[in-house]
Amino acid sequence: RAAVSLLRPRSRRGPGAAPDPDPRPRCRGHHFCQKELDMTLLRRKLITAALALPVFALATPAIDAPAPAFTATAADGRTVSLSDFKGKTVVLEWTNADCPYVRKHYGSGNMQKQQQA
């Protein structure tokens, strides 16, 4: 039996064939394509973040000024407006449900206990 390479498929081009017009390496499996795709997406995210940074830098909070009016969806699904809490202290919390630490602390009830204290 002849040894068969599992890493690279044999070329179907014979000797003397014209060189491949595309000099980039061919996809040799899922990992190569996925890695290239991940790098492309990472570049796009970095460029988007770099372009958005000046916008966020200009949005400085006004101290001792009323917060702008807004409406949002609460964790239980109901719609609430800032005006509903006029005269009260409002704390806004954003969480990342995909974060393992957030899942751990919210799933155990630890964060809810901390917030009640």
| Residue 56: inside a domain | no
Domains held by the chain: number: 1
| Residue 38: inside a domain | no
CA dihedral for 89, 92, 75, 71, sign (positive or negative) = positive
Domain range enclosing 105: 91-116
Q: What is the pLDDT of residue 16?
A: 58
State pLDDT tens for residues 1-41. Answer: 455 445 544 555 555 565 655 555 555 555 556 667 777 78
| Residue 21: inside a domain | no
| Residue 109: inside a domain | yes
Q: What is the pLDDT of residue 114?
A: 82
d(CA 100, CA 18): 53
Q: What is the pLDDT of residue 49?
A: 81
State pLDDT tens for residues 38-85. Answer: 777 888 888 888 887 776 666 677 778 888 888 888 878 899 999 998
